[in-house]
Amino acid sequence: MKKYISLRRCLFDSFANRSMYDFEKDRSLWAILEGLRRLGTWATPVNKIKARKDHTCIRNCTIKAGATYFTDESVIEVKHAALPKVCAGCMAMILYFKDVDNLAPTKYTHWADEIKAAVKIEKEKHVGLS
């Protein structure tokens, strides 16, 4: 049986279930990047960075060396001289509350746990009885 996880659920798990879920996993990073693409950040790309040293997220989370974090003013909506650093969990939260799952998909719609990859699922068309 195939198990598909929605973009919304992937984003939610990435920030709300941090103690039970590794938000550095492929499905979380896919969800964040898909959410950013849905916002149209290709015109003003968000920087996805692998930390070389420990940092502090704009929300005071610890970003450990080797962890992924993001920088960009257009999504984070904070103006600083230096771009703020946002951990993967907080970026997932920002995207979740921006309701990116309601925007048109750019390439994929769900995460398939069975194959550990993003997939596109067409919505089923229901024919009503007239």
Predicted pLDDT of residue 92: 92
Task: Assign 81 a pLDDT band (cuts: 50, 70, 90).
Answer: low
Give the total number of structural domains in the chain.
Answer: 1
The span from the CA of 20 to the CA of 14, in Å, is 10
Residue 30 lies in a domain: yes
Residue 126 lies in a domain: no
Residue 124 lies in a domain: no
- What is the arithmetic mean of pLDDT over 19-30? 72
Residue 106 lies in a domain: yes
Predicted pLDDT of residue 127: 44
Residue 118 has pLDDT above 70, yes or no: yes
The span from the CA of 38 to the CA of 106, in Å, is 6
Domain that holds residue 76: 4-119
Residue 50 lies in a domain: yes
